[in-house]
């Protein structure tokens, strides 16, 4: 994979103040190459309906990924997002179907539910003193239990198209691009500048590099930690609404495995799983790469399970590159 040489790219490109990190540059090149090849080899990839479908299916992963990037940068992880999305989806789907809740309050409800779940994660991580993967593994099961209880052994059918403006149909597009993807872009842009230029945003990196030193430097470690998880929860709320989209059916298995797809996008995007390094731009690119491969395999008529193969390879390459870079840094 072309992602194998970002270390060299980084060193050469240092003068550019690293607006684009090495791994991001490599991803851009891989993506561009992939899109070029697909555009030439098929006459169906570069069509507006295909790109629209691709961007819509990637949007929820990208949106949660933006929050997940912050969490992983602090040295944490949140594996509960899939179950969290299920809770949001069942609560909101039932509210718009049974009480006819209109768009704005339903959106607020989804965000509020997501935020609450995120804050619970954040507080448990900040004050529990237990590794975040254990904490959120616990809440992954708790939230799934909660969701199943709310489903009451039935899937939610006949969900109205309240959120069709964020859905996968024509009414959810602006300039041929799904609104859900525009939303992901705007959120990513805001988050990118926040994590880059705001002091409180930089604190997340400090936390991930060395929490003890960060505390000595006067960073409010606990509140910054809670903020990262709460933000992720908020994004989970938003993603849940995008997943409901134009309505129809919400199944009990909603969101199952979503956490792994999100973490894959973040890791492929070059964010270090050890914390302290990464950016939402990379996550966006990682999500796009995963989405492109998934869609391309159907377009080319290849066997569906090849998707897993490619994603697995991407993750291993990305993590491998990260570890090599870490080792080099230590050797210096």
Partner 1 sequence: MMRSKRATGVVVAGIAGALLVSGCSKKADDTATSGSTASGSSSQAVSVAFVPKLQGIPYFEAMNTGGQEAATDLGLKWIYKGSTTADPGAQTDIVKSLIQQKVSALFVAPNDPDSMAPVLGDAKAKGIHIATSDTDAPNSDREVFVNQATAEGIGQAISDALLEKMGGKGKLAIVSCGQTAANLNSWIDVEKKYIAQKYPDAQIVSTVYAGEDEAKAVSMAKDLMNAHPDLTGLIGECTSSAPGVAKAVREAGKIGKVFTVGLGTPQAMKPYLTDGSSSAAILWDVQKLGYLTAWAGKQLADGGSLAPDAKLKAKVPDATYDDATKVLLLGPALRITTENVDQFQY
Q: Which of 31, 24, 105 is nearest to 295 (CA)?
A: 31
Q: Which of residues 25 and 172 has its CB atom nearest to partner 1 in the complex?
A: 172
CB of 208 to partner 1, least distance (A): 9
DSSP 8-state symbol, 152 = T
- CA 71, CA 24: separation in Å to the nearest integer? 19
Q: Which of residues 20 and 91 has its CB atom nearest to partner 1 in the complex?
A: 91
Q: Which of residues 22 and 167 has its CB atom nearest to partner 1 in the complex?
A: 167
DSSP 8-state symbol, 31 = H
CB of 50 to partner 1, least distance (A): 4
- CA 213, CA 216: separation in Å to the nearest integer? 5
CB of 16 to partner 1, least distance (A): 27
Q: Which of residues 11 and 170 has its CB atom nearest to partner 1 in the complex?
A: 170
CB of 196 to partner 1, least distance (A): 23
Instruction: Enumerate binding residues for partner 1 (CB under 8 A).
Output: 42, 44, 47, 49-50, 53, 56-57, 75, 77, 79, 131, 133-134, 137, 140-141, 144-145, 148-149, 151, 153-155, 157-158, 167-170, 210, 243, 246, 248-249, 251-254, 256-257, 260, 273-275, 294-295, 298-301, 304-305, 326, 330
- CA 89, CA 329: separation in Å to the nearest integer? 43
Q: Which of residues 145 and 198 has its CB atom nearest to partner 1 in the complex?
A: 145
Q: Where are the alpha helices (DSSP H) in the chain?
A: 6-12, 22-41, 48-73, 81-98, 103-128, 132-151, 179-197, 199-209, 211-216, 221-244, 258-268, 280-299, 306-331
Q: Which two tokens stand for residue 236?
A: 């989970």
- CA 6, CA 199: separation in Å to the nearest integer? 27
Q: Which of residues 25 and 58 has its CB atom nearest to partner 1 in the complex?
A: 58
Q: Which of residues 137 and 194 has its CB atom nearest to partner 1 in the complex?
A: 137
- CA 276, CA 248: separation in Å to the nearest integer? 41
CB of 61 to partner 1, least distance (A): 11
Q: Which of residues 269 and 275 has its CB atom nearest to partner 1 in the complex?
A: 275
Q: Which of residues 263 and 285 has its CB atom nearest to partner 1 in the complex?
A: 263
DSSP 8-state symbol, 154 = S
75 SS3 class: coil
Q: Which two tokens stand for residue 187?
A: 């959120």
CB of 19 to partner 1, least distance (A): 27
CB 314 within 8 A of CB 3: yes
CB of 60 to partner 1, least distance (A): 9
- CA 50, CA 44: separation in Å to the nearest integer? 7
Cα–Cα distances (Å) from 146 to 52, 99, 140, 153, 211, in that order, read 33, 21, 10, 12, 33
CB of 189 to partner 1, least distance (A): 25
CB of 209 to partner 1, least distance (A): 8
């Amino acid at each position: 994979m072309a992602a194998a040489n970002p270390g060299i790219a980084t060193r050469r490109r240092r003068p550019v103040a690293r607006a684009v990190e090495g791994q991001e540059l490599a991803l851009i090149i891989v993506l561009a190459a992939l899109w070029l090849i697909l555009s030439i080899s098929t006459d169906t990839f570069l069509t507006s309906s295909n790109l629209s479908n691709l961007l819509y299916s990637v949007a929820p992963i990208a949106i949660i990924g933006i929050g997940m990037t912050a969490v992983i940068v602090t040295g944490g992880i949140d594996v509960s997002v899939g179950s969290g999305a299920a809770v949001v989806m069942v609560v909101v789907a039932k509210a718009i179907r049974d009480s006819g809740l209109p768009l704005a309050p339903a959106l607020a409800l989804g965000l509020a539910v997501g935020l609450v779940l995120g804050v619970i994660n954040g507080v448990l991580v900040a004050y529990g003193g237990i590794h975040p993967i254990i904490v959120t593994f616990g809440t992954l099961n708790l939230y799934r239990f909660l969701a199943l209880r709310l489903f009451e052994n039935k899937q939610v059918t006949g969900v109205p198209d309240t959120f069709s403006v964020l859905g996968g149909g024509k009414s959810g597009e602006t300039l041929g691009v799904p609104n859900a993807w525009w939303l992901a872009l705007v959120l990513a842009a805001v988050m990118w500048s926040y994590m880059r230029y705001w002091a409180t945003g930089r604190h997340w990196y400090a936390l991930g590099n060395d929490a003890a030193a960060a505390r000595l430097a006067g960073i409010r470690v606990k509140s910054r930690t809670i903020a990262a998880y709460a933000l992720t929860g908020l994004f989970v709320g938003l993603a849940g609404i995008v997943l409901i989209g134009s309505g129809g059916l919400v199944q009990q298995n909603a969101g199952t495995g979503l956490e792994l797809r999100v973490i894959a996008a973040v890791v492929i995007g070059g964010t270090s799983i050890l914390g302290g390094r990464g950016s939402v731009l990379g996550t966006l690119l990682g999500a796009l790469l995963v989405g492109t491969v998934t869609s391309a395999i159907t377009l080319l008529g290849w066997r569906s399970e090849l998707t897993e193969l490619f994603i697995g390879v991407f993750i291993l390459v990305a993590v491998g590159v990260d570890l090599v870079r870490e080792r080099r840094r230590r050797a210096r």
